A = this chain, B = another copy of it.
Amino acid sequence: MPRKSSPGKTLIPQCHAVILAGGSGTRLWPLSRNMLPKQLLALDGEDTLLQQTVKRVLGAFDPECVWVVTNEEHVFEVRNQVQSVDKRLLDQVISEPLARNTLPATLLAVEQISKRLPEGGLTAVFPSDHLIRDEVTLRRNLQKAGETAAKGYFVTMGVEASQPETGYGYVSLGRELDVGVYECAGFIEKPDYSMAKRYHRDGGHLWNSGIFVFGCKDFLKAVAVHQPELWAWWLAREDAPMIDNYGRIADISIDYGIAERIDNIAVVRAEFDWEDLGSWEAMYRLGKRDKDGNVIQGDVMAVDCRNSLLISRGGRLAAVGLQNMIMVQTRDATLACPMPHVQRVREIVDMLRAEGSKLAECHPKVDRPWGNYVVLEEDHNYKIKRIAVHPGARLSLQMHHHRSEHWVVVSGTAEVEIDGVESVLTENQSVDIPQASQHRLANPGKVLLEIIEIQSGPYLEEDDIVRFDDIYGRAKSPK
């Protein structure tokens, strides 16, 4: 979805946009993991859901009015992803010390926005993990939401339900205030199936899209009235480092913390397409189907398969005679599940967590501020990684107590420092990093540096690292 122009820069006067990119989730396991939630995945093309959201929002807002909130765990990857869309967004990424749901995240962003708009203005909040394709309509509906919010309403956007859905929240419509604008008669968090069916049949209920537009001052006032503890933390925030107190903030959503508690809330009927992508079934429903009704991505051979979702991101997947199946394969795990059982992926993830498996936690590819690495192979006494370092990037000066490392450059140029001695390695060259030596890797070149790292030793976890100096501010914390 590449797009250059930003036609709607004056869409909503005095309004900033906040993209919430701190969520975690594993409903799309094995592609999504705790450390790689779905907004950071490219599910239906080259752009991740976050990048698609950023581009969509930049169609309606100037870059300096767009904020992206995430947390420490994902901040480097979020920064990498948003800067590849627009470098100007790098300064607009706000990082929470901990993941804390949508209300505290929004409060952090509203603080920044209030500094830019001291006379008061509006904030539009967007989840980063939803799919919206009809951007023209989105902008038109946003404009209506902005006008409504400017009148003092706290606006939520409601989406016409295309099927009964027990996985979404609903808003109940009251009196019509304007064309397509209603008083909100209530919020319903994930109804049961019979209720969802009744809403679908009788109308008067819309899916809660998670897109809100409100006045910053109205928002702050609502927090003060309805979330006094959060407000107290907010007032005292400059007296102590944020991290010391952040853990005490309630893990609370905008919906539950404010929207359900205030009177002046309005619903704008969204006319654009909207999808939560909350399951592999949704991925299938939205994907591009071939003549047999299959949605296929990656290295897949399908013989006589029908209406199936077949994805491989590692190894060949050969499927014969499948119907209505979901198969998703990565380097370290494969999911096989008939479409009607799709919600039970959760059970798999719960089992993985219960056994303490890394398969729920980390993807074999891990993003870092300087690039990324992929664990190619692990055994009890060695681990092999492919490490990619961005041009100009530099890893921390570090030391490991329990392992030696061996680096082979397979593309690009590496600058290596070992116990104060610097050298430059090019393709095919290698170097040994003895146990307990201080070492550092950098890419002084203009192209990606790729090295293969073989770690050997009796203890190979990521926490055997002592950092002495780090340009990304991570000294003495895990890589």
Q: Name A's B-contacting residues (CB within 8 A).
A: 29-30, 301, 303-304, 312, 314-322, 325, 327, 329-338, 340-341, 344-345, 347-348, 351-352, 357, 359, 376-377, 379, 381-382, 384, 386, 404, 406, 408-411, 427-430, 432, 435, 452, 454, 456-457
Cβ–Cβ contact A320 & B303, under 8 A? no
- How many copies of this chain? 2
* With contact pairs A376-B376, A408-B406, A411-B381 given, residues A341 and B320 touching in the complex (Cβ less than 8 Å): yes
Bound complex: CA A348 to CA B348 (Å):
29
| Residues of chain B within 8 A of A319, CB atoms compared | 335-337
A-B contact list, 20 entries, CB within 8 Å: A29-B318, A315-B332, A316-B332, A316-B359, A317-B334, A318-B335, A318-B336, A320-B347, A320-B348, A321-B341, A322-B337, A322-B338, A329-B334, A376-B376, A377-B386, A381-B427, A382-B410, A409-B456, A428-B456, A429-B432
A-side interface mostly: strand
Contact check, B428 vs A410: say whether CB atoms are below 8 A apart: no
A348 surroundings in chain B (CB, below 8 A): 301, 303, 318, 320
Partner of A430, one of B325, B330, B430: B430
For the complex, what is the distance from the CA of A314 to the CA of B429, rounded to whole Å?
Answer: 31
A410 CB contacts on chain B under 8 angstroms: 379, 381-382, 454, 456
**How many Å lie between the Cα of A473 and that of B254 in the bound state?**
75
- In the bound assembly, the distance between CA atoms of A410 and B377 in angstroms comes to 13
Q: Chain B nearest CB: distance from A458 CB in Å?
A: 10
**Neighbouring B residues of A318 by C-beta, 8 Å:** 29-30, 333-336, 348
Nearest B residue (CB) for A376: B377
Q: Verify B377–A404 contact, CB threshold 8 A.
A: no
